[in-house]
Structures are given as structure tokens and as C-alpha cells.
Chains A and B, each alone.
Chain A
Amino acid sequence: MKKINPIQKYFLTMGSMLRTNIRDYGMYIALGVIFIVFSIMTGGNFLKPNNFTNLLNQTAYVSVLAVGMTLVIVTRQIDLSVGYLGAFLGAYVVVAVEVNGQSIITAVIAALIITIFVGFVKGFLVAKIKIPAFVVTLAGMFIFKGFLMLKTNNRTIPTSNSFFNKIGVGYLTENTVGTVDTLTAIVGAILIILLIVFGIYKRFKNKRLGIPLEKIELFVTKTIIMSGLIFFIAYTLSRFRGISFLLLITAVIVVIYHIFTTQTVLGRRIYAVGGNPEAAELSGISVEKILIIVFISMGILALFSGVMYASMLQNTSPNHGPFWELYAIAAAYIGGTSANGGVGKVVNAFIGSVVIMSLKNGMALAAVNSNIEPIVLGSVLLLAVIFDVYTRNVRGADMIGMHYAKREYRKEFRAAKENLLKAKHALNAAKAKEKKEVIETYKVKFDQLKKQQTERNKLANKKSLRDLKQEFKREKEANSPEIIELEYQYTSALGEYNRIKDTIRSATEDDYILTKKVTN
């Protein structure tokens, strides 16, 4: 067989990689589709610098919640209280500063102590007292709503302190050269350089340690796409006002949590606890401790979220808070977090939150009827979870191997298919014939019975009619040895057909290259 040319190889490799890693790449693709669709629907306004910046700013408060929620869901828990908790904490800080004249630092530290305490209590109730997290946090939701209303005294309190101003609507620098914010441009350039350098360095390091490398085509494509993405984001942002503080805070939190969950012992133990809590306990990990830590972490992120939201809106009010946690949960699930625990990346949850907020932002911008918005959001979430379930057990397919195998087995596959159809027809024909025979035989019998029946003994007539009917039913369903034999032939033809199909599907490129079945 001839070896495939490099262009074919490239596309087939990318195809295989896509199929194998569909769970990770799926949401990026979804995001891309959403961006394109809304760009079209809004005549290009969706991706314009000012809207794009707004989009990221609006996402910020949900993203940080989504990051924390990922860990909660990974450990097989849920937290329904973070909306009102976050809103309350935001209100606490605002009131402390605006109304009571405290300094920002004092207010934030006080709020931090409160949220750590709350997180500890939640974790304690769930882990030690063994009350389901759903109930505990549902109760929390009501309780914090009350505290929010108390704190705001049921009125809206505007923020005037420059801190809130800076965080909510401020940007890193306002230094422009031409129409481009310089800092953003520099940051973008640095990130791209880091991406490329780090990627190459890691590749060399892995090669030295003997760790399997990802295919070069994938590495180059990924690097190019990521660089393009960074460039696009940096360029778009720089043409408006650059990097906002909201975006900066979000980015820092995502990075910290990414490192935490992939590089620290504590972070890895969280995944162990989520994947198999009994085994974790047997391995010497305190599941209770981990759960408490996860709830405290969620609380701290709720604090960030609350302050960011109040800053963004430049006020605090008793109306803040509803649905925040639901967006965070949806974001986590869209990001591929598993409901069974043990699986879920924080970076993906961040992307999930961008997906959700893009939908909201895009629909608003395209003047879609606002009543449709929750319908769309709910449907997207459902699709994401269905997608997650269906791709759970997808085995990677080596499309290059499949390509070669399809050629190798072309004749056999065609023959098997023909065989299968032949057997199917033979079986159906025989079944139909037998059925017809039985019906005819029994039609005669039924007529005979009718003639024999006398008027007098109606009961006996009914009985013998019923018996004949039952006998007819049985005979209809019973199968002659001939049918059984044809059935066997059909199913073995089916088996052979499936066998070849599976052989093709599980073929790998190495099968053909290494055994020299393929030549240049």
C-alpha cells in the first residue's frame, strides 16, 4: 500500500486528535461558533473592542465563582448559597467603607474572616455531620439573602470610594500610542513569546525524560491557534481601554487555581477525594479536611465575586445575588466537570463562563427578545451535559490507521455487507412465507369450527374458540428449525460484518508503518 501524502496525514492526524480529545476541544469550538454567529447577527459589533471588553468584564464575577464551583463539584458536592453569600460579602465591604467609614483593608479582612468561618461551618456540616451539601447550602442561600437585605437595609447604596471605582471600571493603564494601549500590546506579545518558548522547552524536556510527546502536527497547530487567540484578544482589548482590573483579577485567580489543582499535593488530593472518597480515606487522606478546605475556598472566591460585582455596578443592593451560583454551576458543567466527581479543569470552567456570558451579551446586543435568553442558556447547558455523557467513553480513533485499514479490507468489507443483506432477505422471506402458511391453515380451522358450532352450547363454543385462538397465537410465534437455521446465518453474517468494522476502527498508524505494510 502506498503511504499517504503529508497533507492527507496532517488532516487525518488533526481529525484523530479532535476525536480523541473532543471533550477538551469541544468547548473551544462551541465558543468559536458562538463568536461567529453573534458577529454575524450583530453586523460585527459583537467582537468590536468596546463590546468585547465589556463581555470579559461582565464575565469576571461569574468566572471566579465557576473556578471555585469546579472544585466543589469535583468533590461530589454542590454550593447553592454562593450567590447571596457573594452579594452579602460585597454589601458588607461597601457598607463598611461607604457608611461606616472603615478603610478598605479593614473591611476586606473582616469580610474574609466572615467567609472563612462560613465556609468552615458549611464544610463541617457536610463532612462531619453528614448533611447533604444540597440541603446545607440551600439553607445558606435563604440565610445569606436575609443578611444581604439586613446589610443593605433594603436600599441601594452607591460606591464612591476610588477603590471600587478602580476595580469596577478601571483599567491597568491609560497609555496609548496611536489608538493602541501599549501595556496590553506588550502583555500580549510577552504571552505569545512565553507560549512558544515554554512549549518548545517542555517538548525537549519530555523527550529527554522519555515521556511520550504529542504529535508535532498537533503541537504546531495548537501553538499557532493559541498565539492567534492571544493576539486577537490583546489587539481587540488594546484598541479600547486595555486590560481592566476585573480581567486582571480573574486571570490571576484562574492561574493560581490552575497551578493549585495541577501542581500541589493538596490540589491533587481534592481530585482523589472526588474520584473515590473511600479509597482516599484508606490512603490516609482526611476527606473531611479536604471538604472543609473546598468550601472555604469557595467562600473566599465568593468574596472576590461580590466585591467585583458591586464595583462593576458601582453600588450594592438587595437585588444582587440571584442565580450567580447557577451560572457558576452551568459554567463548570459546560467546562466538562463531571457530575460523578473526580473530573474537572478550572481553566475549562473559565471558558464555560465565557460561553454563558457570551450568549447573554450576544443575545442582548442582537436585540433578541430577552425572554428567550434563559431558554437558550438552559438549552445550551443541557446540550453541554448530553455532549459530556456521550463523549465520556469515546475511544480515540487513529484516523490514519483507519484510512489504511479501509483500503486493506475493502473487498472483505463489501463481501460481508452483501452477505448480510442476502441473509436478512432470506430470513425475512422465510418468516413471511411461514406466517402466511400458518394463517391459511388456521383460517380453515376457524371456518371448520364455526360450522361445527351449534347454537345450544354457547359457553363451550366460546371456550373452544378461545383455545383455538391461543393455539393460533402460539403457532404464529413458534419457529421451525429452518427459521432457526436462517436466523443463525443472519446473526453470524452480522457478527462477521461487525467484526470487520471493528478491526478497521481499531487500526492504528503504527500497525501499518511498523510492519512495513506501507511503502513510500
Chain B
Amino acid sequence: MQKNKILEMRAITKTFPGVKALDEVDLYVDEGEIHFIVGENGAGKSTLMKVLSGIYHHGTYSGDVVFDGRIQHFHGIKDSVNAGIVIINQELALFPDLSVYENIFVGHEKTISNQFMDWAMTKKLATKYLDMVGLKKVDMYDHVGMYGVGVQQLVEIAKALSQNVKLLILDEPTAALNEDDSANLLKLIVDLKKKGITSIMISHKLKEVEAIADSLTVLRDGKVICRMDKEQINEQEIIKHMVGREISDIFPKRPKFEGDEVVFETVHYNAFDTNKNRYVVSNSNIKVKKGEVVGIAGLMGAGRTELALSIFGNSRNYKKSGSTVVFGKVVNLSTPSKAIREGIAYVSEDRKRDGLILGEDIGQNITISDLKKISRSGFLNFPKQSIQAEKYVKDLNIKTPSIFQKAKNLSGGNQQKVQVAKWLFAEPRILILDEPTRGIDVGAKYEIYTIINQLVANGMSIIMISSELPEIMGMCDRVYVIAEGVQTAEFNIEDATPEKILAKATL
């Protein structure tokens, strides 16, 4: 049966000053397919989707976008939506203070004589679309802001369905979801496929690719490396194409850990989230020794970041029970400043939102963790700040034209290094890294691993939260596995294998 190409992107090239983001990219998707676009961050996936959705107007790129058999000239999102293409970004475009049913129709409201809201029709249709995405139980009268990311994402899809979507583009849809919600979402995409809706998924999660992809395209550095059909899809092959080299020389070597001194412990430690009404950390008993890299492995949403956040000052106001023991002292780490004073630092998972002040320069970002060090009697000493900035730029090999470069202009890898530098500036003795190499290219990853090795060699203890098993295996001395808030296993790295860890990552 002749498959109909619903989308064909031909020789798409897009350049920014100094950088070729997309280089003669050819992509095609058959109607009714689930197509994945895979590639490291910076590979050009988002840029390509911005071309497709019309965010980059026709004329700002070369090449053709052929959708539904016609060359498209999109000038803005409205054009692509009218053609039947809907893109759902990671930052959801919902209105937290409006009801669920109203959210679905914002921008294309159901009206009586074009000016007045037809609430009856709005509510009726909203029920229909919410049903299609499996949200029957959701009270559509509630403000959408009351619901978690899992539900919100489904509301976004309901919104897309209400606009008669033919091609649905999802950018990292399961990145912020827990296991249940992720599985739910993937099942929905497959259901929608049966209804004739084509989907493009941008995702790092190769297990998902193996599960539901009909075909995929691998991008690297703005170029198409290869296209695979279902039969050819294989995780190892994909990684090889994405990375361009074997996995084995990705981790710098480090001497085997030997040590006894326990610097940090949690004892029967729990954290209860009153908003979600459940324990996000349940009976945690971890020990960290001086000079050790302790890994915290588990699936997304298992509660590892929650564990870290509750230890580092409980900014989410969980109800804690049990104890945290820092250098032999039982301490109530009630605020981040208290945690910093005890020698703990936390490098956030989401560097852009929680880790950096994007509008400030490198120097400001680095020194903000302990301004007292560069000030006297309350006045900042800017030369001192610049000296510190230069020091860390050199030590961590941060690539930037100058130390006055604003953080938002740095690449992901360099932004992460600035965040790490900020915490090193506070001279912690226990450093918690949360997904330290997420969204970073392979070269920068290696540099960060080298930095980690240097730090532990100098006596720092590191807790590394990571979802990437190769990273856990390559960098940690010991691993704890967390599943749904519960600590399920502890391995010395010699005894651990990815399969063993994964087995313990689900209850």
C-alpha cells in the first residue's frame, strides 16, 4: 500500500549569525505514523520544529516545507494551526486561573454571533475532547492551575484535538512526567494514531522510541545523520548515531574509592507533600562518605529531586520526619541558607529556571552564593568579583567571549558549568548534583566529569542524581536506587549493573 507522505521537509537550512543551526535537513513523515526526532541538545530539533510550526516565518529559512501535498508559507503559529499542525512545547501554554474547559478553547472560542461566548457549546465540546484524552474524571470546572503537569499536558492535547489537528508535534512530552503519566501519554499517542492523527515526538528517551516509534530521524549538529524504520530501530545503533562515538571513552578514570568517614546521613527520613497528599520520600537511609561519589538512580518522578530539595532547605515545604545528620550533628536543614552554612550545596536540575539568573553576567551568577566573600561592610567589590569569575572560567574551562557575557547567551554546557562554579564558590563539603549533564553535548559532559573527579580527589563528597545509567555506572562509587519515593537498593559499583539498577527502579 502506497504510504502517503503527510509531511516532507526538503533541504531546510537555517543560519543564525555565526552558526548554521540546520544544514540541508531532509525529513519526511508518512500519514498516520509516529515519528521520533532524536538528537542531543543543540542538534537542531527545536529549530526544525520552529520552522515547521511557522514560528520562523517562511523566508527566514531556505528549503521547502511540504504539508498535505502543498508547499507551505507559514507566517506565524496561526498559519500552521490552520493547516492542521499543532505543536505542544515543554513549557505548556495554559492559563492557570481559567477553568479547564475554557482553556481548551482560548483563541478559537465557541461563540454566539462571533462576539458572545457560547458557554453551553464550550462545555459540551470540552467534555468530548477531555474524554478523548482520557480525562473523564477531571473536574473541568476547576482552574487548570490546580492540576499537575501530567493532567495539564493532556489538556493541551485536548486543546490540539479541538483544533482538528492532523499533525501533532510533542517536544519532550514525558520529560516532566512520572511513570504512570508517561505510560498514559504514550498510550494516548498510539490511540490517536488509530484515529488517523500523525505524531512527531522529540525525545531523549530511547526506551520510548523502541516502544512506539514507527520511524525516526537522527539529527546531529544540524544535519540528518540517518533515518530508521521500525525494523531498524535499536538503542545501541541510535546512540552511536547520536553521539558519533562509542560510549566507553566518555568517562574519565578515577582511582577506586577507599574511605570510612561518614559526612552525611539520612536516618528514617521522610518527606510528605501536602499538595499531592503523599510521601515523596519514604524511609530514606543513605550514607555519604568523605571523598565519595554516591549515585541516586531511579526513573523520572521517583522522588530523587524531592529528596535533594527537602535536604537542601526544604524550599517546597514538605512535612519532614526523621533526621538528617551532617558531620555527626543532627541538624534541621530548614532553609537553603542553613544548608549552605552546614556545607551543603545543590546544583539544580533546571538550570535556567532554578540555577541561573539569565539576565546577569557570569561574574554575578558565580558569586551570588556567597556575596560576603567579595564584599566589605556591605559593599560589593567588583574587581574581586571579576577575579573570581576569571578563576572559575579558567578552572572549569567555560567557553565565553568575556566574563561579562550574560548567562542566557551561553550554551547549555557552559551554563551548567557556571551553575557548578556558583556552588563551588560557596566552598561546600557536600555537593548535590541533580542531573548534572542533562541537555549538554558530549564534549562538555566529559569536562564536567573531570571536574567531579577533581573535586572528590580534594575531599569533597558528591551526591549525584542521574537518570542516565551509563553515567551512574561510569562515575559513582556507590549507588542507591529510589522507586516512587522508596529506597529499594544500595549497590557498591563493582556489584552493580544497569539491569540490576533498572530492576530495582520500579516497585
Contacts and interface: CB of A to CB of B under 8 A. Distances in A.
Interface string B351-365: 000000000000000
Nearest to A283: B107
Given A209-B120, A265-B109, A284-B78, A276 B330 contact: no
The CB with the most chain A CB atoms within 10 A, among B91, B123, B268, B329, is that of: B268
A508 to B, nearest CB: 13
B322 interface: yes
Interface residues of B, number: 40
Contacts of A338: 97
Main secondary structure of the interface of B (DSSP, over half): mixed
B97 A488 contact: no
B106 A478 contact: no
Given A265-B117, A276-B96, A342-B96, A488 B123 contact: no
A502 B275 CA distance: 11
The CB with the most chain A CB atoms within 10 A, among B97, B141, B270, B329, is that of: B97
B95 A279 contact: yes
Contact of B141 (A212, A280, A494): A212
Contacts of B328: 478-479
Contact of B109 (A268, A477, A479, A483): A268
Nearest to A488: B268
Main secondary structure of the interface of A (DSSP, over half): helix
B98 interface: yes
Contacts of A457: none
B93 A276 contact: yes
Contact of A343 (B97, B116, B320): B97
A499 B92 CA distance: 33
B107 to A, nearest CB: 3
A263 B107 CA distance: 15
Interface in A315-361: 338, 342-343
Nearest to A483: B330
A495 B119 CA distance: 45
A94 to B, nearest CB: 35
Contacts of A266: 115
A158 interface: no
Interface in B97-156: 97-98, 102, 106-109, 111, 114-117, 119-120, 123, 141
B98 A265 contact: no
A276 B94 contact: yes
A342 B95 contact: yes
Interface in A273-294: 275-276, 278-280, 282-285
Contact of A275 (B97, B141, B268, B320): B97
A265 B115 contact: yes
A256 to B, nearest CB: 13
A269 B102 CA distance: 10
Interface string B329-367: 110000000000000000000000000000000000000
A506 interface: yes
Given A275-B98, A284-B81, A492 B330 contact: no
Nearest to A499: B272
A487 B78 CA distance: 59
Contact of B115 (A211, A212, A264, A283): A264
Given A275-B98, A280-B106, A283-B107, A487 B93 contact: no
Contacts of B95: 271-272, 275-276, 279-280, 342
A484 interface: yes
Contact of A284 (B77, B111, B270): B77
Given A275-B98, A484-B267, A492 B322 contact: yes
A498 interface: yes
A221 interface: no
Contacts of A211: 123, 141
B149 to A, nearest CB: 15
Interface string B261-283: 00000011010101001000000
Contact of A491 (B97, B120, B320): B320
Contacts of B66: none
A278 B91 CA distance: 10
A285 B81 CA distance: 13
Contacts of B116: 263-265
Interface residues on A, range: 35 or more
B329 A478 contact: yes
Contacts of B322: 488, 491-492
The CB with the most chain A CB atoms within 10 A, among B102, B108, B120, B322, is that of: B322
Nearest to A487: B323
A266 B114 CA distance: 10
A495 B93 contact: no
B319 interface: yes
B321 interface: yes
A272 B272 CA distance: 33
B190 interface: no
B325 interface: yes
A483 B108 CA distance: 63
B131 to A, nearest CB: 13
Contacts of A478: 328-329
A209 B98 CA distance: 21
Contacts of B107: 272, 280, 283-285
Nearest to B330: A479
Contacts of A275: 95-98
Contact of B323 (A279, A343, A491): A491
A269 B123 CA distance: 17
Nearest to A268: B117
B148 to A, nearest CB: 15
Nearest to A276: B95
Nearest to A74: B97
Nearest to A494: B321
A342 B81 CA distance: 25
Interface in A230-279: 263-266, 268-269, 271-272, 275-276, 278-279
A495 B319 contact: yes
A485 to B, nearest CB: 8
A275 B81 CA distance: 22
A506 to B, nearest CB: 7
Contacts of A283: 93, 106-108
Given A209-B120, A266-B115, A285-B106, A495 B321 contact: yes
A278 B96 CA distance: 13
B330 A268 contact: no
Interface string A97-140: 00000000000000000000000000000000000000000000
A272 B330 contact: no
B108 A284 contact: yes
A272 B105 CA distance: 11
Contact of B93 (A263, A268, A279, A506): A279
Contacts of B277: 502, 506
Top 4 A-B pairs ranked by shortest CB distance?
A283-B107, A279-B93, A495-B321, A491-B321
